[in-house]
Structure formats: C-alpha cells, structure tokens
C-alpha cells in the first residue's frame, strides 16, 4: 500500500505533542483550562433548533437536496446580504450553499489551481488555504501578515513575477488568528491588485458578525468592482453557534461560483434540506443572540487583555473575533511557550507556529470559556512569577 505524495506534502500536525501532554495531564487529574479551541461554548439559539425539529419530520426534506442549495436558502442568503451589507446578489447564480465554509474553502483550489500554479496565501492564517493549494498540486506563495502592518498583507511586497503567475489569493478579516480587522480602503487596494494581475480573490468572512465596541465589519463585496474579481466565504458556525451543524455559503463572482459547483457536484451531494431550513431561520429570524454573544465575548476579552497587561503584556483591546494573539514571553519559541503554560499552569493555548512561519513568537488564546475560568487561568499565570 502506497499513500499519495500529496498527503506527504502536508506539514506535520504540530499540535500532536500538545494533545499528548494534555491527555497525560488529564490522566494525572490536572484541571485543564482549554483556551485552544475556536468553538463557541454557548448553544445554538432555540428558534433555530425548533426549526430543525419541525423540518426533520417533514419527508420533503429527506431526499437529495439541490447541489447549489435550495432556492429558499439562497434567497435567504441574498436577503441577509442586502440587509446587512447593502450588497445585491443574484440568488440563482451568485450564491451557493456549503457544508460549512471549510468545505468550500478547501474545494475552491481544485477549481482554480492546476499543478504548478501559485496561490497567494497569508501567514499566519487558517491552515486550510495552504493545504488546499498543496492538494491541488499548486505552490502557496506566503504573504506575511506583520504586526507593524496591523496584520494586513503588504501587496507591494509581493514578487511581481509571482503576482503575474498567481491564480488565486486568500484574505480574511476579521482575522483568525490575529483578531485584526480591515477597512474598505484595504479592500479597494485588493480589488485593484486582483484586476491588474487577473487573480481571483477569496475573502474568508467567517467572523463577520463577531465584532465589539460598536465596530461592524464590511463585506469585501461592498467595494466597487469586487464582484468582478472575488467571492466571499461565509459560515453560520460562529455567528449562530452552529459549528456542528455544518452550514455555510459562498457568494459573489458567478464564474467562480459556477466553477466551484462543478467540483462540488462531483464530490458531495449538498446540505441536508432540514439543516438549510434551520439556516433560513437563523438568517431571517431574530438576530438578538449575536449581540448577546458579542457582549459575552467583550467581557471575556476585557478580562484577558487587562489581566495580561497587568502581567507585563502590552495588548490593545481587539475589535473582532474571539481570539487574542499574544507575543510569547521574552521571544520564546511558540511551542515551548504553549508547553510551559500547559505543564506549569494547566492552561492550553495554541502555538502561533501552527498558523505558519510568521506565527512564530506568538500564541492564540480563544475566549471560549467563561470569565471565571479566564480569571483562574490568569491567576495561574501570575503564580508562575513571569
Ligand atoms: C478563518 C476561518 N475560516 C473558516 C472556518 C471554517 O468554519 P466552518 O467550516 O465551520 O464554516 C474557520 C473555523 O474555525 C475559521 O477560523
């Protein structure tokens, strides 16, 4: 038996060591505080659950769904986009349901990257952009996201020859893992760049609604000309606490949506119709849970940022996402730092290197436990006498 080369090109799973240590600590009875997982700890709102309960008993939801999503789901997406961003979408040609946004993100590379093609991939970033390129036998060209640039890519630093050859680029704001945000000026620059080099822009917008202190994120598609060059990936996972339900969507450029649908029709058979019904309820029903969640995350953010600043960090309050991206202690290697916090404090954070080479020297904290546990984690850090 010989496994494919493409699997061997995937970088080793860097969290194995941490996972092993976590299991050992749990066996020893250590009270672990896990700040490593980007998964909301609060339940899916009741109106969405009730809609699923009702839909699942309707036999009309039991057969194969339409590949691109039901017409009703796509219309709900278009309506939500118009209401939230003022962006008009053709529900037939510019919207497609996904089995969670990760599925669409992973598959878009098969639609645009031929062997040897380049993609422009931010670093640090959600790892699927890079592995998606590798699975399509392409080359990920790393675009660093540096703190001095507020974790935005410096488009002028991208090698001209590579830009000419690149087929696709990924951006994502609000950003995982850095918590950075982007404004429309930046998106305008991206549109100009993409038009100049004829590149598809993929904007991963999974954290669009997780914003604080009155800040509201803009859609990439709000910018003139964006739909000529780009698509946006969306997810119901974080917005409606629906990570396990697997529902997302892609919107924007119709040629790109159509290319993605060709890949998908040959790989999957769409999203269970009852889940899409629940998704319609999420998008068109009461939205107050979003505000409620953002209040919870704001409180947690304040606990962590104030607490860490008292311990000697110098962090500004983040405007979006439930992640805090912190420099390690004294320039420590990110794996050593994560191991130290696990071994000495029973606190799990994600080492920055897991998000790419430019994540080295950082760690990610997820605000997915309550304030009391966060205070306990900070107390343990304090006792470390950093
Ligand atoms: C930046 C980013 N994009 C996409 C996803 C995928 O989300 P889902 O597949 O649940 O829609 C995640 C999940 O953590 C993420 O952090």
Strands (E), 28-117: 33-34, 95-98
281: which 2 tokens? Answer: 């309820």
**pLDDT for the residue numbered 11:** 73
**Is 127 a pocket residue for ligand 1 (Cβ < 6 Å)?**
no
Residue matched to tokens 């488009």 = 155
Per-residue pLDDT of the chain (386 residues; tens, 9 = 90+): 989 988 887 877 667 777 888 889 999 999 999 999 899 999 999 999 999 999 999 999 999 999 999 999 999 999 999 999 999 999 999 999 999 999 999 999 999 999 999 999 999 999 999 999 999 999 999 999 999 999 999 999 999 999 999 999 999 999 999 999 999 999 999 999 999 999 999 999 999 999 999 999 999 999 999 999 999 999 999 999 999 999 999 999 999 999 999 999 999 999 999 999 999 999 999 999 999 999 999 999 999 999 999 999 999 999 999 999 999 998 999 999 999 999 999 999 999 999 999 999 999 999 999 999 999 999 999 998 66
384: which 2 tokens? Answer: 């470390």
Best mutation site among 126, 208, 240, 350 for ligand 1, i.e. most ligand atoms within 8 A of its Cβ? 126
Can you name the residues that pair with 121 across neighbouring β-strands? 142
Q: How far from each other are the two terminal CA atoms of the chain, in whole angstroms?
A: 50
Per DSSP bridges, beta strands 323-327 and 200-204 are unpaired
Residue 253: name the closest of 235, 226, 218 by CA.
Answer: 226
Distance CA 82, CA 97 (A): 17
For the chain, give the number of residues.
386
Residue 325: name the closest of 340, 315, 335, 333 by CA.
Answer: 315
Residue 365: φ, ψ to 5°: -110, 130
**Is 126 a pocket residue for ligand 1 (Cβ < 6 Å)?**
yes
Residue 217: name the closest of 190, 251, 186, 181 by CA.
Answer: 181
Residue 72: name the closest of 234, 249, 266 by CA.
Answer: 249
Residue 141: name the closest of 170, 176, 114 by CA.
Answer: 170
Interval between CA 102 and ligand 1 midpoint (Å): 6
**pLDDT for the residue numbered 227:** 98
The count of other CB atoms within 10 Å of the CB of residue 309 is 13
Query: For ligand 1, atom 14, which residue shows the shortest CA distance?
Result: 38
Residue matched to tokens 């997302």 = 248
**Is 69 a pocket residue for ligand 1 (Cβ < 6 Å)?**
no
Instruction: Check if the beta carbon of residue 57 is closer than 8 Å to that of residue 65.
Output: no
Distance CA 238, CA 160 (A): 36
Instruction: Check if the beta carbon of residue 252 is closer than 8 Å to that of residue 225.
Output: no
**pLDDT for the residue numbered 7:** 85
Best mutation site among 151, 175, 176 for ligand 1, i.e. most ligand atoms within 8 A of its Cβ? 176
203: which 2 tokens? Answer: 């904007």
Distance CA 272, CA 287 (A): 23
Can you name the residues that pair with 331 across neighbouring β-strands? none
DSSP-assigned letter for residue 153: B
Furthest-apart CA atoms within the chain: distance in Å: 62
Distance CA 329, CA 289 (A): 36
Residue 272: φ, ψ to 5°: -45, 130
Atom of ligand 1 nearest to the CA of 236: 11
**Is 334 a pocket residue for ligand 1 (Cβ < 6 Å)?**
no
**pLDDT for the residue numbered 224:** 97
Distance CA 196, CA 370 (A): 47
Interval between CA 210 and ligand 1 midpoint (Å): 13
372: which 2 tokens? Answer: 């009391």
Atom of ligand 1 nearest to the CA of 243: 10
Residue matched to tokens 């939230």 = 84
Instruction: Check if the beta carbon of residue 240 is closer than 8 Å to that of residue 271.
Output: no
Best mutation site among 77, 235, 246, 321 for ligand 1, i.e. most ligand atoms within 8 A of its Cβ? 235
Atom of ligand 1 nearest to the CA of 101: 11
**Is 279 a pocket residue for ligand 1 (Cβ < 6 Å)?**
no
Interval between CA 161 and ligand 1 midpoint (Å): 31
**pLDDT for the residue numbered 187:** 98
Query: For ligand 1, atom 6, which residue shows the shortest CA distance?
Result: 102
Atom of ligand 1 nearest to the CA of 234: 11
Atom of ligand 1 nearest to the CA of 103: 9
Residue 287: φ, ψ to 5°: -110, 10
Query: For ligand 1, atom 3, which residue shows the shortest CA distance?
Result: 206
């Amino acid at each position: 038996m010989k496994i494919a080369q493409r699997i061997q090109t995937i970088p080793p799973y860097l969290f194995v060591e941490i996972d092993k240590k976590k299991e050992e600590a749990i066996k020893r009875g250590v009270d672990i505080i896990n700040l490593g997982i980007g998964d909301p700890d609060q339940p899916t709102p009741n109106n969405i659950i009730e809609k699923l309960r009702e839909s699942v008993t309707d036999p009309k939801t039991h057969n194969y769904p339409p590949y691109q999503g039901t017409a009703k789901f796509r219309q709900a997406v278009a309506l939500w986009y118009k209401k939230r961003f003022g962006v008009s979408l053709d529900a037939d040609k510019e919207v497609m349901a996904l089995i969670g946004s990760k599925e669409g993100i992973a598959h878009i590379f098969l639609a645009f990257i031929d062997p040897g093609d380049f993609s422009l991939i931010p670093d640090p970033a959600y790892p699927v952009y890079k592995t998606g390129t590798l699975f399509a036998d392409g080359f990920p060209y790393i675009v660093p996201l540096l703190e001095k640039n507020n974790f935005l890519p410096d488009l002028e630093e991208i090698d001209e020859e590579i830009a000419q050859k690149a087929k696709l680029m990924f951006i994502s704001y609000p950003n995982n893992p850095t918590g950075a945000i982007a404004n429309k000026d930046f998106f305008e620059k991206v549109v100009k760049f993409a038009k100049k080099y004829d590149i598809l822009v993929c904007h991963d917008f999974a954290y669009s609604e997780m914003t604080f202190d009155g800040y509201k994120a803009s859609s990439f598609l709000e910018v003139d000309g964006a739909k000529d060059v780009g698509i946006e990936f969306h997810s119901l996972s974080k917005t409606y606490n629906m990570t396990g339900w697997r529902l997302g969507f892609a919107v924007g450029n119709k040629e790109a949506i159509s290319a993605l649908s060709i890949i998908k029709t040959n790989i999957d058979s769409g999203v269970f119709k009852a889940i899409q019904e629940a998704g319609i309820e999420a998008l068109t029903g009461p939205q107050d849970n979003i505000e409620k969640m953002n209040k919870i995350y704001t409180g947690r953010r304040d606990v962590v940022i104030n607490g860490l600043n008292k311990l000697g960090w110098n962090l500004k309050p983040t405007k979006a996402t439930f992640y805090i991206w912190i420099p390690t202690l004294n320039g420590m290697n990110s794996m050593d730092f994560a191991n130290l916090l696990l071994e000495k404090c029973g606190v799990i954070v994600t080492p920055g290197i897991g998000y790419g080479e430019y994540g080295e020297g950082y760690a990610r904290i997820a605000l997915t436990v309550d304030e009391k546990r966060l205070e306990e984690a900070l107390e343990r850090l304090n006792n470390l006498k950093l």
